[in-house]
Structure 1
Amino acid sequence: MNRIETDLCVIGAGSGGLSVAAGAVQMGARVVLIEAAEMGGDCLNAGCVPSKALIAAAKAAEAQRRGFRGVSPAAPQVDFAAVKDHVAAVIARIAPTDSQARFEGLGCTVIRAFARFTGPREVQVGDTTIRARRFVIATGSRPLVPQIQGVDSVPYFTNETIFTLRERPMHLIVIGGGPIGIEMAQAHRRLGCDVTVVESAKALGREDPDCASVVLDAMRAEGIALVEGQPVVRLAGEAGAVEVTLGDGRQIKGSHLLLAVGRKVALEGLNLDAAGVAHTAKGVTVDKRLRSSNRRVYAVGDAAGGLQFTHVAGWHAGIVVRQCVLGLPAKADPRALPRATYTDPELAQAGLTEAEARAAHGEALTVVRADFAHNDRAQAEGKASGLIKVMVVRGRPVGASIAGPQAGELIGLWALAISSRLKMSAIAAMVAPYPTLGEVSKRAASAYFSPKLFDNPTLKHLVRFVQRWVP
């Protein structure tokens, strides 16, 4: 039986775990990194990286299909298997950054096996016992497979398997109208598949309705069938011929099935009770410091039970490193966290939506908006659909919603403004290069001041006084 004593033991080599391990070991801490599956976790191998590579190929196909004024459209010739080669190549180019060899080169002890707590300060990994001063659980999450009649007998894909499919589906049925389902639906439609999305509630229901409708209208215009407000009650069929029965009795037939109904935190087998770590089905129960009921054990990313995004895991990692390695106080405040859905047009959010802001602030809330139709760059590129909404309380933004081209890039400014408690005057005074999409944010900020400037009788009297009497 081997035994290792270390400062920090990180369980899980996804985005959060790798960030903790890299930061800690380079600052001088002894680090053991444990991963039973692939280095890089879901983001690299089955999530953010492959999905965005697939979306990029789909966007290229759509650009050919649409053409441009003065540029004739053409039917794209899509080699579906070659597109998947592109996806695999992108993963391969990024993989060395997350590899075992790199982290061993940084000084980490990397163990490729499952970990199991045997006490408050020890985990068992194969025939090795690891005793650490602190632990970080970064095990991520896995696709949730819903309990639908027939799900055990019908072939289906999840985000972990869809990127290995090399034959183009004739008709892809997507169960789930959240970001993953919607992104995959549009990408496959643009690559030449018939696509139907089934959502038991409202597609993109977590997002601002005005912004979500921009995206959903664009998808319908591209020929994607959206079925909302209907649960799936039964699945049947075989490879190449699947059948989905809805709550109202309707049946949808397709060639392939993608389940995209959410994710569940991967905590199985960790034996958290032995470590005194409280947890639920949503994840490890943590405080604002990301510390569990065992003061030596922290959780980051999806394992911490909050927002399931790669950038959140990286943000968590910084909070944990400051505490565990440097002994500095740090807390997680998720109020300004951004998120994005990489459809075309894109959809992004930072802070509170309008509904959330009204519930929290009532009559103190002011909502301002600006349309991409009034943005010169958007007009020049033929992408003038969309809007930005900013929720403002006492002169400071508390939330921003964007639907439009490059919304995922534009939301960064508002995430900074909300987290830094900047005033709307700071955004309005910003000088943006012309013509850029970023001007839409400045226009929204200026809209906050327009009533105060242009509908203010007192100000107009002052202006008349200055024009008459001030030399």
Structure 2
Amino acid sequence: MNVLQPYDDHNRALEQNVHPPSYVNPTPTGPYHLVVIGAGTAGLVAAAGAAGLGARVALIERDLMGGDCLNVGCVPSKGIISSARVAATAKAAEAYSVNVPGPIEVDFAGVMQRMRKARAKISRADSAERYRKLGVDVYFGGARFTASDTVDVAGTTLRFKRAIVATGSRPAVPSIPGLDGAEYLTNESLFSLTQLPQRLGVIGAGPIGTEMAQAFAGLGAKVLLVESDHGILSKEDRDAAEIVQAAIEKDGVRVLCCGRDLHIAQEKGIHLRLDSHGTRYDEPVDQLLIATGRAPNTESLGLETVGVDYDDRGIQVDDYLQTTNPRIYAAGDVCGKFKFTHAADFMARAVIQNALFAVGPLGKKRMSDLVIPWATYTTPEVAHVGLYPHQADEQNIAIDTYVQSFEELDRAILEGEQEGFVKIHTKRGSDKILGATIVARSAGDLISQVTMAMTQGIGLGKIAGTIHPYPTQAEAIRKLGDQYNRTRLTPLNKSVLGVLRRWNAGT
């Protein structure tokens, strides 16, 4: 378990919670209503939810409970990002007329120790002991289906009425010449570092690569970020991605986009050799992070034995998250295109309902009904929910777009954070919100207001009538409601208002 290095007090506490060394698997006493394979977010939510509703539940984990999010994903990465943001604030203090004596120094070992301490504290919520107290039988070991109603874990057979596969995903390592002969990091090993790489190469400018590139630059590393596409965060709104790219470059990240003919050489260190915009580069780095996407964990589960179809994109499910075997469901990264912790959470909630408590089609929840936002935690953050304009075009949906720049937002001006915006797309001629992108220091928090409006059917015009505290960055969303309402002022409306104004003035 590389994540448990260094094996200090904090990682020992983590281990004691999420894979206790002396743990003994329970002895099954009968069939389970639900067997859950995988104790990441989707599996934990499904197991706790079903047990809380009276079901007999078994939860199987082959490694560490909490999955990627707790151990090698959201939790440790945000711990490091928090330290990098504090360092950046200290370095920028002079611009706010705050004098910090001497140079800013980052204790990287201390940053990582702080992260491990926080991760261990958070791990209590995902612990085997907590789930045992919730009434869940927790088993450690590899799981494999042996029949449509049985699964083997560490030599023990568990019988079930329904099963959920929630085995998550792992780093997808691309086929790059020379990579097999080089030492490299993924998110599964990055957070075990105790010394700052002086020169860090990052391949892949998606969310993980971009976040870690900026964070490590903020902690003092010289960072080279390589991306094969034009620009970073290729799936995001281009205006948003360009703002983030300018920000990370200002923070010291060197970006080589449109990278072609990439080769890795291990020669007195690691060398990245590639073409970018017509120039050939040979860049030495001390450590290399591969951040090029995710691959579903479908191996060794015996899915073929029970007629569950899957491919390199994951397990195939219908809109109710049911696999091709009607007794078996899937949730989370192993089957979802939205590989986010919060998506796995709500997929699991839907699966509990569909697998255990729906009667035929009655009471079933559809995956397509979920409104799922996401955020990339760079500085500034970029967050999105719903449709992008190109997706609306592909679906022949006409839209109107409203934009509020932070250059005209009082709180952003006061905080010196004017590089950002809120962009909301509505159905043409109405205030029905179809999508939104936000670029701001706290975009991940702000997007929830738009997500709630979409989920509850609240139109942009109604948001205009919701009082927001002044001054806040959230005011940008209300101002877009004002923009929409001004479009409703037709010549006839203006005429009527003019008559009323003159009549009132005369009285």
Query: Is the CA contact (8 Å cut-off) linking 2:402 and 2:480 kept in structure 1?
Result: yes
Question: Partner of 1:149: helix, strand, or coil?
Answer: coil
1:98 equivalent in alignment to 2:126 = yes
1:164 equivalent in alignment to 2:195 = no
Matched residues in 2 for 1:319 and 1:309: separation? 16
Matched residues in 2 for 1:376 and 1:418: separation? 26
1:336 equivalent in alignment to 2:371 = yes
Shift of 1:335: 6.1
1:425 equivalent in alignment to 2:461 = yes
1:21 equivalent in alignment to 2:52 = no
1:86 equivalent in alignment to 2:114 = yes
Among 323, 327, 339, the residue aligned to 1:296: 327
Question: Partner of 1:109: helix, strand, or coil?
Answer: strand
1:227 equivalent in alignment to 2:242 = no
Matched residues in 2 for 1:135 and 1:467: separation? 67
1:26-45 matches, cutoff 5 A: 26-45=52-71
Aligned to 1:402: 438
The CA deviation string for residues 165-219 of structure 1, in whole angstroms up to 9 with x for no partner, is 1111111010000000000000000000101100011310100001111111111
TM-score (norm 2): 0.89
Amino acid in structure 1 at the alignment position of 2:249: R
Matched residues in 2 for 1:402 and 1:232: separation? 34
Matched residues in 2 for 1:360 and 1:421: separation? 20
Aligned to 1:122: 150
Matched residues in 2 for 1:310 and 1:139: separation? 13
Query: Is the CA contact (8 Å cut-off) linking 2:329 and 2:355 kept in structure 1?
Result: no
Shift of 1:419: 2.1
Shift of 1:152: 1.4
Amino acid in structure 2 at the alignment position of 1:158: T
Aligned to 1:59: 85
Once the two structures are overlaid, the 10-residue window that deviates more, 257-266 or 122-131, is 122-131
Matched residues in 1 for 2:307 and 2:175: separation? 31
1:352 equivalent in alignment to 2:378 = no
Aligned to 2:3: none
Query: Is the CA contact (8 Å cut-off) linking 1:346 and 1:408 kept in structure 2?
Result: yes
The CA deviation string for residues 11-57 of structure 1, in whole angstroms up to 9 with x for no partner, is 00000100000111111100010001001000000000000000000
Aligned to 2:421: 387
Matched residues in 1 for 2:54 and 2:82: separation? 40
Aligned to 2:451: 415
Among 103, 113, 116, the residue aligned to 1:75: 103
Question: Partner of 2:437: helix, strand, or coil?
Answer: strand
State percent identity of aligned pairs: 38
Aligned length, in residue pairs? 466
Query: Is the CA contact (8 Å cut-off) linking 2:69 and 2:341 kept in structure 1?
Result: yes
Matched residues in 2 for 1:8 and 1:398: separation? 36
1:286 equivalent in alignment to 2:317 = yes
Q: Report runs of 4+ in structure 1 exceeding 6 Å deviation.
A: none
* Structure 2 residues not aligned, in runs of 5+: 1-26
The CA deviation string for residues 342-391 of structure 1, in whole angstroms up to 9 with x for no partner, is 000010000011222233345x3100010112221112211121011101
Matched residues in 2 for 1:340 and 1:41: separation? 20
Query: Is the CA contact (8 Å cut-off) linking 1:265 and 1:305 kept in structure 2?
Result: no
Shift of 1:96: 1.1
Shift of 1:114: 0.2
Among 457, 471, 481, the residue aligned to 1:445: 481
Question: Partner of 2:324: helix, strand, or coil?
Answer: coil
Aligned to 1:173: 201
Shift of 1:247: 4.2
Aligned to 1:207: 236
Amino acid in structure 2 at the alignment position of 1:468: R
Amino acid in structure 2 at the alignment position of 1:114: G
Aligned to 1:269: 300
Query: Is the CA contact (8 Å cut-off) linking 1:335 and 1:351 kept in structure 2?
Result: no
Question: Partner of 1:131: helix, strand, or coil?
Answer: strand
* Structure 1 residues not aligned, in runs of 5+: none
TM-score (norm 1): 0.96
1:236 equivalent in alignment to 2:265 = yes
Matched residues in 2 for 1:175 and 1:387: separation? 28
Once the two structures are overlaid, the 10-residue window that deviates more, 249-258 or 178-187, is 249-258
Matched residues in 2 for 1:270 and 1:109: separation? 20
Query: Is the CA contact (8 Å cut-off) linking 2:237 and 2:388 kept in structure 1?
Result: yes
The CA deviation string for residues 391-412 of structure 1, in whole angstroms up to 9 with x for no partner, is 1103201000011121000000
Question: Partner of 1:185: helix, strand, or coil?
Answer: helix
